[in-house]
Each structure stands twice: as structure tokens, then as C-alpha cells.
Amino acid sequence: MTKWMNYGLSAIYLLLVFAFIGLEVVPAEQWEKIWTKERVELIETAIIWSTALLGALLAVFIIIGQQTNRSRASADWTEALEDKSAGRNGIKLANGHAQHIGAREEQQDAFCFSAVDDSEAIDRYGVLAVLADGMGGFAMGREASRLAVQTQLLEYTAKSAEEPVPAALERALHQANKEVYELAKRHELEWSVGTTLIAAVIRQDQLYWISAGDSRIYLYRGGVLIPLTRDHVYANRLYERVKAGELTMEEAESHPERHLLTSYLGIPQLVEIDANQTPFRLHPGDWILLCSDGLYDELSEPLLEEAVHLSPQHAAEYIMRHVLALQKRYQDNATIMIFACT
């Protein structure tokens, strides 16, 4: 109904605009042959006021229509969430993802979700998201990231009902590291094959995560974007030296190796791991985002404020389009995964 009303008002508005243009284009002497000068001025004034009022009314209807469409879209994906009851206890989950090769020759990001429609599996281990970013400066980045994701998924989802989620995530991470390191050894590339890895599990309304490297997991809650993981980079050690008085902040910020990874999969023994042992309680409206470093620098609260009005899948695609629209010359592989709680 609103759509057809907008069409009707738009047609009337255009007629008034054309009428005003006609009054201005045709010489006044021609109009005065038909009407008096006072009548012409009265008609002109009436058209101007009618055009202004109708334009304002049309703008109001357009805004109402947009809000209605947005509410309808929100309702549509919320209804879809009801059919994907991955939370099983209180919250329900929907997921989305987007990936782009960027300006690279090869896609070295890999990711996967566990099953979201298997109630028995969800009761046992929840829903898992895994993302790995193969190290571009190393060899076999693509193979390393895919092997790491595959191993993390298979090892974690093999957990028993008695094994705690944090223990299962860490066990799977160490096995994934072993597999990547063995891959390097088979090709005589020890210390030259590596990948980051992040994983998030939502089970019974609670969030668990684990991380090695500099890919990131965020919580978006109440309009605030909160990083949950800590980058494993040499800058952390530089800042410790700043606190000890051994370096100035300027020296730390300009150090050429500050971005080098200090932890990643593909080394003999994985020591530096970021994980939560105490489960993090989730609430309806929370969004969990897993991102590779080709994307997360462009994440912002204003961007997410727009994205959360969309379904998680459309939101992931919307965020990716925003990143690619910047047209960075050396755009890295970019991947984003989203869990939306309702």
C-alpha cells in the first residue's frame, strides 16, 4: 500500500514541478493573455507551496517505507534463526561468512563451521567456527591453513561428552600444530611453513575461544566492538621492554620487526596460546566475529551499526564490500565469519 502511495505522490510531485517550469519558461505576456497578472502570481505561489509541501510529505513516506523494510528484513532473518536453533538452551544462532582473495595471487585463508543442524552433536560440543590465515611470507601458506582448519575441526568434534570445551580446543590446537609442522618436515621446510588459527565455540549460551597468531575474535555488544583475543606479535615484547625502561615508546612503535608473529602453527612446540578457561556468557543481540588481518583493521562500530540490521550472511558480504571499496593496492586475503545471537 505504501509503495503505491509513494508512486502516486511522486507522479503528482513531478506534475507540479513541470507546471512550475512551464510558468517560468513561458513569457509572462503570454500568460497575461489568458489570466490577469494577479491570477498568474496566485497560481505560481500555489504551485510553489504545493510542491514544497508535497515534497516534504513524500520524504516522510519514503523514510517510513525504509524503516518498514528494515524492520521486515530484521523480522525475516530473526524468523530464520528460529529454524536454526543452534544455541539449544536460551539463545539461538545464525551464521554468515565472506571471503576475498584481495590483491594476492593465492587465497591462503581457510575457514569452516561445524554442523548447525545436528542437535545431538550440538549438545555434545556446541557449534564451532575456525579460521586460519596462512603466512604469506612462508611456503605452503594455503596448504598449511587448510590442514590446520581441517585438523582443528576433526579433533575438536571428536571430543567426549565429559571433556571440557577449553581442554578439547587446546588439544585440537596442539594436534593442528603438529600436523602443520609434520607437513613442513615432509617438504624439508621446517620453520618455513606456518599459519595463524582462531577458533570459537558456542555451547549452552556460553562462548569459548582459542588463538595462536594475529587473527582476531571480536564481540559486538550494545554498539561496542570488543576484541577478545590478543595478537601474538613481537610488539608485545617491545612494550614489555618499554615498561622496564629499556626502550622508549617511540623506539617500540617504529621497530621494523614489531609486526612479526611470536606464535603460530607450524613450530615444534606451541607455547604462546590465547584462550579463555572460564566460559563467557552470551546474550541475545550479541555478535561474534572472526577475522583475518586482511579485514579487521577496517572494522568499526559505525560499520557494524549498519551491518547488524542485516542477516549475518548479508552482513558479512556488506562488510567485505566496504573493505574492498577502499581499493588498497596491497589488499591481503580477507575473511570474516559471524555468529549472531538472538
End position of a domain, from candidates 37, 60, 83: 83
pLDDT on residue 102: 96
* Cα gap 182→190, rounded to integer Å: 9
Burial string for 136-158 (b: 16+ CB within 10 Å, else e) reads eebebbebbbbbbbbbbbebbbe
Q: What pTM does this model have?
A: 0.74
pLDDT: which is higher, 190 or 19? 190
Give the list of residues 6+ apart from residue 339 with CB closer than 8 angstroms, or none. 93, 94, 95, 127, 129, 200, 202, 287, 288, 312
Render pLDDT for 210-246 as a digit per residue (tens, 0 to 9). Answer: 999 999 999 999 999 999 999 999 999 999 999 999 9
pLDDT on residue 89: 53
pLDDT: which is higher, 69 or 53? 53
Residue bearing cell 509503495? 3
Has residue 287 got a pLDDT over 50?
yes
Total number of domains constituting the chain: 2
End position of a domain, from candidates 34, 58, 83: 83
pLDDT on residue 45: 75
185 and 275 co-located in one domain: yes
The CA-to-CA distance between both ends of the chain, in Å, stands at 30
- Structural domain span for residue 231: 93-341
Has residue 111 got a pLDDT over 90?
yes
User: Does some domain include residue 88?
Assistant: no
Averaged pLDDT of the chain: 85
235 and 321 co-located in one domain: yes
Has residue 299 got a pLDDT over 90?
yes
171 and 289 co-located in one domain: yes
What's the CATH number where 242 sits? Answer: 3.60.40.10
Has residue 73 got a pLDDT over 50?
no
Q: Which of 34-38, 247-251, 325-329 has the lowest mean pLDDT?
A: 34-38
Single-letter residue type at 321 = R
* Cα gap 20→292, rounded to integer Å: 56
Has residue 280 got a pLDDT over 70?
yes
Confidence of residue 207 (pLDDT cuts 50, 70, 90): very high
140 and 275 co-located in one domain: yes
| Mean pLDDT for the stretch of residues 130-156 | 95
| Mean pLDDT for the stretch of residues 105-126 | 93
Has residue 2 got a pLDDT over 60?
no
Confidence of residue 200 (pLDDT cuts 50, 70, 90): very high
Has residue 38 got a pLDDT over 60?
yes
| Mean pLDDT for the stretch of residues 72-91 | 46
End position of a domain, from candidates 83, 101, 123: 83
